[in-house]
Amino acid sequence: MISVRRARRLTSRLLPGRPDPDRPDPDRSGSGHLRSGRAWQVVRAAVEPFRLALFRGDADPPPRSRWLTVEVPRRLQAFVPLATVSLVQVAELVLALILYRTTQAMVTGWNLDAGGRPGGPAPIPEFFAYLTGLAVGLPITLRDRWPLAAWRVAAVLLPVPIWVTITLVASDAPYMFPAAVSYLLVLYSVAVRCGRRITLAIWIITVLAAWIVHPNSMPLITVVVSVAVLFGYNVRVRRAATTRLLQEERRTQAARSAQAVLAERARIARELHDVVAHHMSVIAIQAEAVPLRAVGDPARLEAGLAEIRGLSLEAIADLRQVLGVLRDQDGRTDTAPQPDLDRVEELVANARAAGLAVRVTRSGPLDGLPPAVGLSAYRIVQESLSNAMRHAPGSAVAVNLACDGDLLRLRVTNGPGAAPGPAPGAGQGLVGMRERAALLGGALDAGPTPDEGFEVSATLPVAVMETDRPGGHTADRQAWGG
């Protein structure tokens, strides 16, 4: 026998195409394990819903409704150890008590009829009347808090009313009406509060149990049970859709709030940049120039320091105005007037004091502009002069203000500086000017000129402010955050 095996192995080695009979085929073995593994997964997937329904599954928590919850008065809390009482649970207890008493009376009457009818079924112990009522009423008391546990209790106790009906009543279907109502209500709660797989498993178990107990009534039972399950599942789907809609609305509201916060931060940063950058530039240039101009002249030095102090106080006042626009803790706002084109001369005076040669030209009616337009125009001129002081000190600056019909046109052009200025910054000033113009529906262009200067030109609509809404204050509030 051993020699035969050795001969077969030697033949398999000499002839590679011939398989070794003593060696298992790896392809066949692997495919077999694969098929068995897939089959086991299919079996587990099919059995898992039933395992959840019978043993390990759980239902969703009951929905909270403040309209169906009442507080217990303090004088009754000594007798009722609860702070609040759910009206739904109270209704469930009342319904359970009604079904319990109805079932008990029904079984007791059947038992009396059976004892008084000759040749009829033998009476059963009175204990079963109470047990049958408990089997019908107990699941109702549990279905609001624990619907899946209520169904398990009903599935365990339902054979009692079925046996009592078969024993005492000669009817076609062994289902008493209170037991049917109780079981259908429990099925509805399961479909509303449990997952789709658990609900389907419970439906299958119910239909199979109906087929085992009474095959003739199985079609009717299937229809009634399916209606209850489908109705509950429809309620579950609608509740889930409502919950998702509410969550989406909350996320949208949160996103809008975050966007409003970012817009407010950008507005505050823009206002502070315009105020601080301008005044600090003038103060820095004045602090550098005053000692050079007042060498040996205490009177000129004192005048220069007084001018710097005045500029500092003006900067503080402007900062207070900007911050005063924000609401305080009592909801009030600062009603101090915001700067407009009437104060351009102050900007020009500061720029001239810092060494710029500023020339201003005006054309058209510039009085009576909407506050938002006047404030934005003032800030654009202010930032343009500040940029000229920082990057082209000692240059000649031309400021042109023109109101042409429904458009306000601004142009601030500076030539090359008498001395090289510092390196350009991050460009936040230009970004802020463009945002101001875009907020009013206008446009702003900024760029170098052929003579190594710089030009800022803006176009701001005037008529839009009056037609934005009745009263013409919408864009005004947007421009300064009111």
- Whether 158 is covered by a domain: the verdict is yes
DSSP SS3 for 455 = strand
CA distance 329 to 73: 37
Q: Are residues 177 and 296 in the same domain?
A: no
What is the crossing angle of helices 159-168 and 147-157, to 10°?
A: 30
Q: Are residues 79 and 196 in the same domain?
A: yes
- Whether 394 is covered by a domain: the verdict is yes
State mean pLDDT over 227-238. 94
Query: Beta partners for 397?
Result: 358, 414
Q: Do residues 103 and 161 make contact, with C-beta atoms less than 8 angstroms apart? A: yes
Q: Are residues 140 and 286 in the same domain?
A: no
Task: Tell me the pLDDT of the chain averaged across its residues.
Answer: 79
- Whether 368 is covered by a domain: the verdict is yes
Confidence of residue 422 (pLDDT cuts 50, 70, 90): low
Q: Are residues 88 and 186 in the same domain?
A: yes
- Other Cβ atoms less than 10 A from the Cβ of 172: the count is 8
Q: What is the CATH classification number for the domain harbouring 430?
A: 3.30.565.10
CA distance 241 to 183: 27
Express each pLDDT in 464-474 by its tens digit. 444 343 334 33
- At a CB cut-off of 8 Å and minimum separation 6, what does 301 contact? 290, 291, 294
Q: Are residues 293 and 436 in the same domain?
A: yes
Express each pLDDT in 105-140 by its tens digit. 998 888 888 766 666 677 888 889 999 999 999 999
- Whether 60 is covered by a domain: the verdict is no
From residue 33, how far is each of 29, 38, 41 by CA, in Å?
A: 6, 9, 12
Nearest to 154 by CA among 49, 61, 53: 53
Domain final position from 195, 213, 231 = 213
In this prediction, residue 185 carries a pLDDT of 94
Say if residue 5's pLDDT is above 70. no
State mean pLDDT over 358-371. 86
Quick one: tokens of 29? Answer: 């073995």
Q: Are residues 261 and 408 in the same domain?
A: yes
Q: Are residues 279 and 200 in the same domain?
A: no
In this prediction, residue 298 carries a pLDDT of 79
Q: Are residues 266 and 361 in the same domain?
A: yes
In this prediction, residue 413 carries a pLDDT of 93
- Whether 227 is covered by a domain: the verdict is no
In this prediction, residue 217 carries a pLDDT of 87
Q: Are residues 205 and 319 in the same domain?
A: no
Domain final position from 161, 183, 213 = 213
- Whether 451 is covered by a domain: the verdict is yes
Q: Do residues 341 and 445 make contact, with C-beta atoms less than 8 angstroms apart? A: no
In this prediction, residue 192 carries a pLDDT of 93
Express each pLDDT in 198-216 by its tens digit. 999 999 999 999 999 888 8
In this prediction, residue 307 carries a pLDDT of 76
Say if residue 17's pLDDT is above 90. no
Q: Are residues 149 and 280 in the same domain?
A: no
Express each pLDDT in 159-173 by its tens digit. 999 998 888 886 677
DSSP 227-273: HHHHHHHHHHHHHHHHHHHHHHHHHHHHHHHHHHHHHHHHHHHHHHH
Domain final position from 213, 234, 265 = 213
Domain that holds residue 142: 66-213
Q: Are residues 73 and 149 in the same domain?
A: yes
In this prediction, residue 445 carries a pLDDT of 92
In this prediction, residue 474 carries a pLDDT of 39
In this prediction, residue 130 carries a pLDDT of 92
- Whether 8 is covered by a domain: the verdict is no
Q: Do residues 225 and 185 make contact, with C-beta atoms less than 8 angstroms apart? A: no
- Whether 119 is covered by a domain: the verdict is yes
Q: Are residues 131 and 259 in the same domain?
A: no
DSSP SS3 for 164 = helix
In this prediction, residue 214 carries a pLDDT of 87
State mean pLDDT over 62-67. 74
Say if residue 329's pLDDT is above 80. no
Its pTM stands at 0.56
Domain count, the chain: 2
Nearest to 398 by CA among 406, 390, 388: 388
Nearest to 413 by CA among 372, 370, 382, 457: 457
Say if residue 476's pLDDT is above 70. no
